[in-house]
A and B are shown apart, each in its own frame.
Chain A
Amino acid sequence: MVKAAITTPAATNPFIPFPFVVMSRRRETRDTVTLRLRPLRNVRLLAQPGQFMMLSVIGVGEVPISVSGLPRRPGELEHTIRAVGSVTRHLVALRPGDYIGVRGPFGTSWPLQLAHGQDVLLIAGGLGFAPLRSALLSILRERWRYRQVIALYGARSPTDLLYRRDLSRWQQRPDLVLRMTVDHPDQYWRGQVGVVPNLIRQVAAFFEPANTIAMICGPEIMMRFTIRELQKHGVPDEHIFLSLERNMQCAIGLCGHCQLGPFFLCKDGPVLPYSRLAPFSDIREF
């Protein structure tokens, strides 16, 4: 039997989506789900942690969504989606067996190779944990390549925590420092209450600032205060990486909707070192 040729995106028009089928749907919170997708054709869209795909619902629209997991089988994708607009509401409502369009991967990825031999600090706020989860899974798969691995995660409330099964598994790992905090606890929460930047001081003993790669994703105000806290501890700007969210549309640096200063975040980002962004940090809309 002749094996079907594998199609890669480089050989195709980047504007044309590939058909994917929803394999599984896991509800994370009241408005957020994680979808596992499989290509209908023999296509490999190999996304690195930090990169994003354009997910489309026929007749509704298209949105950029970061990869949130690692493929269990070649070609599979995992995305965590929160229902905030019309396209994402449709995506969140999908069921196993439904079809969607996928194009990508696009953009830059987390600097996992740069972090080899270094302490790694992953700092997530809210839905920002989704792009960092794929980085953390990748790091844990090759744990021996890194020194201390520290994950800090802030959420609105205990019921807004994503990946609860992963979190309880990760809390048992002796080779991972995991700290979580929530803004609004319920009566059952026995953990920390407060903002993510406060967690950095608590784990300061675990990392050497000059030899630390920090990866941050969350609301931009949270990232701003987190950067200040990292700077106070001596982490160099070029070791601080952010994932920035903007209105990505073409995803290949043509339309300009995602422009931030000199950057098109769809192709120069979404992951960028703070040392490149710092000159623009005094712009109020930054």
Chain B
Amino acid sequence: MSDRELEEFLAVHPFTADLDESQRARLAKQARLAHYQPDEYLIQEGRPADAFYLIVQGLVSIELFVPGHGPRPLQTVEGGSAVGWSWMLAPSRWEFDARALERTTAVVFDAERLRALLLEDCCLGLRLVQRLLFLVTERLRAARLQLLDLYGPPRER
């Protein structure tokens, strides 16, 4: 896949669509396109957080493996969203699993090269950090609402 084709994916993905063309071109140089089959892991807990994923198409389950119970899905992420921010923060290890539930396509950034790019281009760095913060806020809000168990019978809430 050429940088040009990757740029086209970045131009339509909500995470990167409103970046400058030159910023998207720089990002494309750090990226590759990857395909995942159902049940294939993008991320596994405890392993080095060495990549950042923009989901283009498909469905990914963010989950924890509970011994005796198997994978416990916490949230799912569809095309148009992003997966993984542990690469931003030391010690850069994944804290959850991310598993494709259906055939999934993602733009995958190499974390080390991406970190270097963001340090070199602070303007792009700020814009990506803002987007990641938005993503974290969204996931946190969703997790808080799930905790409320809104649909349960009144006496069980």
Say yes or no for A231: interface residue by CB 8 A criterion. no
How distant is B133 from chain A, measured CB to nearest CB, in Å?
16
Provide the residues of chain A in CB contact with B141, threshold 8 Å.
225
A185: B residues at CB distance < 8 A: 73
Task: Knowing A192-B59, A198-B142, A202-B78 are in contact, say whether A221-B150 is a contact too (CB < 8 A).
Answer: yes
Say whether A177 faces chain B, with CB atoms less than 8 Å apart.
no
Least CB distance, A232 to chain B, in whole angstroms: 11
Which one of B59, B76, B151 contacts A156 once the chains associate, using CB atoms below 8 Å? B151
Query: Given A84, A127, A187, which contacts B151 in the complex, CB threshold below 8 Å?
Result: A127
Residues of A within 8 A of B142 (CB): 194-195, 197-198
Q: Do A183 and B151 touch across chains, with their CB atoms under 8 A apart?
A: yes
| Cβ B61 vs Cβ A126 within 8 A | no
B129 at the A/B interface (Cβ < 8 Å)? no
Interface string of B117-157 (1 = CB under 8 A from A): 00000000000000000000010011001101111111100
A225–B138 Cα distance when bound, in Å, is 11
B146 to chain A, nearest CB (A): 5
CB pair A155–B154 under 8 Å, yes or no, is no
CB <8 Å contact, B150 and A31: no
| A202 & B153 in contact (Cβ 8 Å cutoff) | no
User: Do B150 and A125 have beta carbons less than 8 Å apart?
Assistant: yes
Interface string of B43-60 (1 = CB under 8 A from A): 000000000000000010
- Give the complex CA separation of A193 and B60 in angstroms: 10
Q: Looking across the interface, which residue of chain B has its beta carbon closest to that of A181?
A: B76
Contact check: which of A84, A160, A192, A221 meets B78 at CB < 8 Å?
Answer: A192
Closest to B142 in A: A195
Task: Please name all residues of chain B whose beta carbon is closer than 8 Å to the beta carbon of A218 when the two chains form the complex.
Answer: 150-151
Residue pair B76, A194 in contact (C-beta under 8 Å): yes
| Bound form: Cα–Cα A185–B145 in Å | 15
Distance between A159 CB and nearest chain B CB, rounded to angstroms:
12
Cβ B149 vs Cβ A183 within 8 A: yes
B138 contact from A181, A192, A198, A219, Cβ within 8 A? A198
Tell whether, in the assembled complex, residue B73 and residue A84 are in contact, meaning their CB atoms are under 8 Å apart.
no
Main secondary structure of the interface of B (DSSP, over half): mixed
Measured between beta carbons, the chain B residues less than 8 angstroms from A202 are 78, 80
- Nearest A residue (CB) for B69: A187
Chain B nearest Cβ from A41, distance in angstroms: 35
Within 8 Å of chain B (Cβ to Cβ): is A25?
no
Instruction: Report the bound CA distance from A125 to B141 in whole Å.
Output: 17
CB nearest to A156 among chain B residues: B151
Are the CB atoms of A219 and B151 closer together than 8 Å? Answer: yes
Answer whether residue B70 sits at the interface, using C-beta atoms and an 8 A cutoff: yes
How long is the Cα–Cα vector from A261 to B146 in the complex, in angstroms? 29
* Residue in A192, A193, A219 whose beta carbon sits within 8 Å of that of B150 in the complex: A219
Verify if B74 is at the interface (C-beta below 8 Å from A).
yes
CB distance from B12 to the nearest CB of A (A): 11
> Across the interface, do A125 and B76 meet the contact criterion of CB distance under 8 Å?
no
| Residues 79 to 93 of chain B near chain A (Cβ within 8 Å) | 80
User: In chain A between 187 and 232, which residues have their CB closer than 8 angstroms to a CB of chain B?
Assistant: 187, 189-195, 197-198, 201-202, 218-219, 221-222, 225
**Do A193 and B151 form a contact, CB below 8 Å, given A198-B138, A225-B141, A225-B145?**
no
A126 CB to closest chain B CB (Å) equals: 3
18 residue pairs of the A-B complex, CB under 8 angstroms, read: A82-B153, A84-B154, A183-B150, A189-B73, A190-B102, A192-B59, A193-B74, A194-B75, A194-B146, A195-B146, A197-B142, A197-B145, A198-B138, A201-B14, A201-B80, A202-B78, A219-B150, A222-B150
Extra pairs beyond A84-B153, A187-B70, A195-B146 (13, CB < 8 Å): A125-B150, A160-B151, A183-B149, A190-B101, A192-B78, A193-B74, A194-B142, A195-B145, A198-B138, A218-B150, A221-B150, A222-B145, A225-B145
Nearest 8 Cβ contacts at the A-B interface:
A126-B151, A156-B151, A219-B150, A192-B76, A193-B76, A194-B75, A195-B145, A193-B73
